[in-house]
Amino acid sequence: MEKIILIKYGELTTKKENINLFIQTLKENIKYKLKDEPVEIQYDKGRMFIRGLKDNYDKVIAKLKEVFGIHEIVVCYEIKTLDLEEIKKEVLSLVQEKEFKTFKVETKRSNKAILKNSLEISSEIGAFLLKNKKGIVVDVHNPEVVIHVEMRNNGTYLYFEKELGLGGYPVSTLGKGILMLSGGIDSPVAGYMAIKRGVKLEALYFESPPHTSIEAKNKVLELAKILSKYNNDLKVHVIHFTEIQEAIYKNIPHEYLITIMRRMMYRIAEIIASRSNAKILVNGESIGQVASQTLTSMKAINEVVKIPVIRPVACFDKLEIIDLAKKINTYETSILPYEDCCTIFVPDHPVINPKARLCEEYEKRIPYKDLIYEAIKNHEVIKVSENTKKDFDDLL
């Protein structure tokens, strides 16, 4: 009997046509996550099996809890038989040292060649335990211990407890997206939600030195590092935005600063996406949160690109976003007080109903195509992973 970890895929199993891609990708992602652990990973259509574990169960489980596409994680005992008599003895040996009064047996039988049905198997095992272990009774409604018995093609799996995984889809199964990652609270949460749906992200950060500091950049890289736990790693594209912002500031009526700045960001993001073969942009916009996120503003800004823009937190209240930021551990970093490029050139009265026609007029005053071309030509790419050193000195 070997103690192994069994993984259930959950929602994946409903994806009939793509199931092999989903499971194969999940396996690759788990392999990457456990690259420092000497384990062996195998799978069939319904389950993944991690064998060769030693004393590293807790560590492996903690890592598996950062992998999307896993529905349940179970530490179980594998016996290479479907013979009911042998199974009964093994179950008994497992429960012998356990202290409990009430129990029930729950059987799953994916191998339909087994003649007895699940209920018959459960009650036979239950009866055997009652006969051989003193002081226990069956309670089907509220048992202290549930003994799970899964009979599959190549063996039987026995376990008592299961832990929930993160759910979602394995990262990469849905293709690539570009996350507009600022140092704020919203965009890391938006990124996490997109990764959850199987989107492999690359991040895009606009910096405006000397108006924005190296601390602001490190903060974004720290957020990228947290997100990289779920994304395998995270490539961060850094765009030097100073010249564009200064040109906007000098030439455009200040109430339109933010609207036009964001149109430039979108244009650049679309080009980065097409070069990276990404199919969507993802950002942390939330309806009504600030002047640039009224519906009219969103339309005037969105108009400059064709690529779909996904806004996972669009309909969340700020408090809901904060809750999630705390859960995924980005909140404490996000609230560090370094200026972002959006906050340094904020006008007193940003327009809340910008007119697209006026945006186009104003944009004629700056050679924005050339500026965008330069910014993209000189852009920097930094690859962050969960093992990246905290001060990012080795990367910058």
Q: Summarize as ranges the residues that interact with ligand ATP (CB under 6 A).
A: 180-182, 184-187, 204-206, 283-285, 289-290, 292, 340-342
Closer of 172 and 294 to ligand ATP (Cβ): 294
Q: Which two tokens stand for residue 16?
A: 């009939």
Residue nearer to ligand ATP on the CB measure, 115 or 319: 319
Dist CA 362 CA 260 (whole Å): 9
Q: Does 312 bind Mg ion (CB under 5 A)?
A: no
**Main-chain phi, psi angles of 27, to 5 degrees:** -60, -45
CB of 284 to Mg ion, least distance (A): 7
Side-chain-side CA neighbours of 90 within 13 Å: the count stands at 23
For the bound state, the minimum distance from the C-beta of residue 259 to ligand ATP, rounded and expressed in Å, comes to 11
245 binds, among Mg ion, ligand ATP, none (CB under 5 to 8 A by kind): none
For residues 170 and 184, which CB has a smaller minimum distance to Mg ion in the complex? 184
Chosen from Mg ion, ligand ATP, none, partner binding at 270 (C-beta under 5 to 8 Å by type): none
Please tell me the distance from the alpha carbon of residue 345 to that of residue 261, in angstroms, as a whole number. 10
Of the pair 159, 256, the CB lying nearest ligand ATP is at 256
Determine, following the binding rule CB under 5 A, whether residue 198 of this chain makes contact with Mg ion: no
List beta partners, residue 137: 102
Provide the minimum distance between the beta carbon of 103 and ligand ATP in the complex, in angstroms, as a whole number: 49
CB of 169 to Mg ion, least distance (A): 27
What are the tokens at 241?
């935005």
The encoded tokens of residue 12 equal 């994946």
Using an 8 Å Cβ cutoff, are 334 and 184 in contact?
yes
Angle of the 257-276 helix axis to the 356-363 helix axis, nearest 10? 80
Q: With the C-alpha atoms ordered 281, 287, 288, 294, is the resulting torsion angle positive or negative?
A: positive
* Partner from ligand ATP, Mg ion, none binding residue 333, C-beta < 5-8 Å depending on class: none
Query: C-beta of 7: minimal distance to ligand ATP in Å?
Result: 33
Count of beta carbons in the 10 Å neighbourhood of residue 214: 13
Among 184, 191, 312, 354, binds Mg ion (CB under 5 A): 184
CB of 255 to Mg ion, least distance (A): 19
Token pair belonging to 198: 């199987």
Q: Does 182 bind Mg ion (CB under 5 A)?
A: yes
- How many binding residues for Mg ion (CB under 5 A)? 2
The one of Mg ion, ligand ATP, none whose footprint includes residue 191, by CB under 5 to 8 A per kind, is none
Distance CA 217, CA 208 (A): 10
Q: Which does 180 bind (CB under 5 to 8 A by kind): ligand ATP, Mg ion, none?
A: ligand ATP
Binding of Mg ion at residue 231 (CB under 5 A)? no
Q: Which residue is nearest to Mg ion (CB)?
A: 184
| Burial per residue of 19-45, b for 16 or more beta-carbon CB atoms within 10 angstroms, e otherwise | eeebbebbbebbeebbeeeebebebee
CA distance linking residue 99 with residue 88, whole number of Å:
18
| Least Å from the CB of residue 284 to ligand ATP | 2
Comparing CA positions, the residue from 193, 162, 176, 167 lying closest to residue 74 is 162
Closer residue to Mg ion, CB minimum distance, 69 or 184 = 184
Where does this chain bind Mg ion (CB under 5 A)? Answer: 182, 184
